[in-house]
Structure 1
Amino acid sequence: MTTETVRPDGPPPNPNPRKPRIALPPGACDAHCHIFGPFDRFPLPPDRSFTPNEAPETALRRLHDHLGIDRAVIVQSQGQGLDTRPFLEALARGAGRYRGVALLKPAAREEDIAALDAAGVCGVRFNFLSHLGGAPDPEALRTVVAKVRPFGWHVAIHVAGEDIVTYESLIRSIDAPVVIDHMARPRIAAGVDGPALKTLRALIDSGRVWTKLSGGDRLSAEGAPFRDVVPIADSLFRHAPERMLWGTDWPHVNLHAPMPDDGDLVDLLADIVPDAEDRKRVLVDNPTTFFKFAS
């Protein structure tokens, strides 16, 4: 597939995000972002679940340099199918700046997982959303988890709304550190005591589950600057600040409303976590521990 034949499913990311009003601490980590392409070298495969805009590592690096972000966790996306080439090239280009989260099938071989581990991959992701293929078979999930456990990887879970209630037992059964993406994407209207957040807090209390204070632009009912998300995220941070992470979710795939300004998303974190030392915990200390970055 060439760049001329790609028809993205949504708009590209904001090309000119503003500078955040806050300065991020040295070593700040974007714990959730994606890359796609460049398509002239890495054509989109037919097994992808959606068609993204081109968003290569070079564009991600420019964004991070503009925002003041020094480290990142690149999450392999189903928009690139199971083609690991762009993902692995990005990790190599980062030379320690990046860690990775992979998509794996139960048939994955130990030697392939070892190669991913050596490249900087530290986790595996499972999507439970219908537009990304729906919930994985529990036995398939357990097979993959058993294969990555010897490497000390974590498991990233992408659920939305009350699905976290449905899959609570399955998540509890995972014998590895777990991170729930985007605060489990709860319904804003359900409030801080809705079933999704109650379940998420109970999972966090297990001591093995973390979450990312990300995806505010996806959750907001009001739109930019997404302040209606602050009570939700604040309730999670105050519940367990030692297990909170943060990410941009760039390049914001599968959105069809106005694309968020990543400067707004950085400043939204300042609204959620006003204290600079607390933000350092979320942006530097916690991700260094969870993703095994060099200190």
Structure 2
Amino acid sequence: MNLTLPMGACNAHCHVFGPRERFPYATEATFIPAKDAPKEALYALNDGLGLQRCVVVQSSCHGFDNSATEDAVAMRPQSYRAIALLPTDIADTELRRLDAVGFRGVRFNYMSHLGHHTPIDDVIGLAARLEPMGWHLQIHGSPSLLTDLAPALRRSPVPVVIDHIGRVDAAQGLHQQDFRALLALMRDDRFWVKVSGMDRITRTGPPYEDAQPFAKTLIAEFGDRVVWGNDWPHPNHAGPVPDEQQLVNLIARIATSEAQRERLLVANPQKLYRFGDNT
């Protein structure tokens, strides 16, 4: 039996690609999707799974042109929000414009396959300009960054959201240094984590039994600062593309009570992304 999600459940991490005829891929993109993943497909997926709210994260295949993401949010302005990719010298006028159309944070990639890495001091400098708008930073990178960048990230004046369980290696177990570094960051209440990506950190494949304990631990220890997403359409995925319904059903294994699922899927996303505030 499929898991019944609470009212207002949020998919807090997914993407849209194209359609390329309307939203061309960036010429400097480090990857180009094999096929488009337009907003209509995302809407249909979320609706079918019972995910009534959504956060669309700008993909590096579109670079700093956030138009495809903005367009996806524009069609559902009360229930969809967005995370941008931006240069750190972005004008304040553009930040305010993006805020008005539903953007709530900026993502920075520190994965080797995603190209240029923005100097962390520049990221923290931008964060000072995000604070008045109630935005946050979203950080995606290899596990070592949790140690290497931790001192700088702790200087952030805005919340910092760590992607995909910190991209730790599930095979190394809960006591590995990289996961301990993530837990250390999470003890600072400025930090949040996405328990998306069990399919990315697994070494055993679905149903990701080696990865589930990491997500379960984070939810149990930091239940008011954890959100979930399915990472559709799973860009640059090394293993088998996940089954979307299975990902939803696995929420019951990592958030084992209704109260935990309510926080994970409804209350926490509402606090971080402020759905319905741009009426």
TM-score normalized by structure 1? 0.90
Which residue matches 1:51? Answer: 32
Q: Secondary structure at the match of 2:19?
A: coil
Q: Pick from 94, 98, 101: which aligns with 1:119?
A: 101
Detail structure 1 runs of 4+ shifted over 3 Å in the superposition. Answer: none
Q: Secondary structure at the match of 1:228?
A: coil
Which residue matches 1:31? Answer: 12
Which residue matches 1:178? Answer: 160
TM-fit CA distance, 1:79? 1.1
Q: Secondary structure at the match of 2:210?
A: helix
Which residue matches 1:209? Answer: 191
Q: Contact (CA 8 Å) 1:49, 1:81: kept in 2 or not?
A: no
Which residue matches 1:218? Answer: 200
Question: Is 1:42 paired with 2:38?
Answer: no
Say how many residue pairs are matched.
276
Q: Secondary structure at the match of 1:235?
A: helix
TM-fit CA distance, 1:275? 1.3
Which residue matches 2:89? Answer: 107
Matches within 5 A, 1:69-148: 69-148=51-130
Question: Is 1:235 paired with 2:217?
Answer: yes
Matched residues in 1 for 2:118 and 2:77: separation? 32
Matched residues in 2 for 1:155 and 1:106: separation? 12
TM-fit CA distance, 1:160? 2.1
Could you tell me which runs of 5 or more consecutive residues in structure 2 were left unpaired when the two chains were aligned: none
Q: Contact (CA 8 Å) 1:126, 1:136: kept in 2 or not?
A: yes
Could you tell me which runs of 5 or more consecutive residues in structure 1 were left unpaired when the two chains were aligned: 1-19
Q: Contact (CA 8 Å) 2:73, 2:82: kept in 1 or not?
A: yes
Which residue matches 2:269? Answer: 287
Matched residues in 2 for 1:134 and 1:236: separation? 30
Which residue matches 1:15? Answer: none
Matched residues in 1 for 2:171 and 2:117: separation? 24
Of all paired residues, the percent bearing the same amino acid is 39
Q: Contact (CA 8 Å) 1:33, 1:250: kept in 2 or not?
A: yes
Q: Secondary structure at the match of 1:30?
A: strand
Matched residues in 2 for 1:69 and 1:195: separation? 34
Q: Secondary structure at the match of 1:201?
A: helix
Question: Is 1:268 paired with 2:256?
Answer: no
Q: Contact (CA 8 Å) 2:77, 2:276: kept in 1 or not?
A: no
Matched residues in 1 for 2:173 and 2:240: separation? 24
Q: Contact (CA 8 Å) 1:177, 1:209: kept in 2 or not?
A: yes
Q: Contact (CA 8 Å) 2:84, 2:103: kept in 1 or not?
A: yes
TM-score normalized by structure 2? 0.95
TM-fit CA distance, 1:71? 0.3
TM-fit CA distance, 1:134? 4.7
Matched residues in 2 for 1:243 and 1:58: separation? 30
Question: Is 1:149 paired with 2:131?
Answer: yes
Gap change, CA 1:264 and 1:239, over 3 Å in 2: same
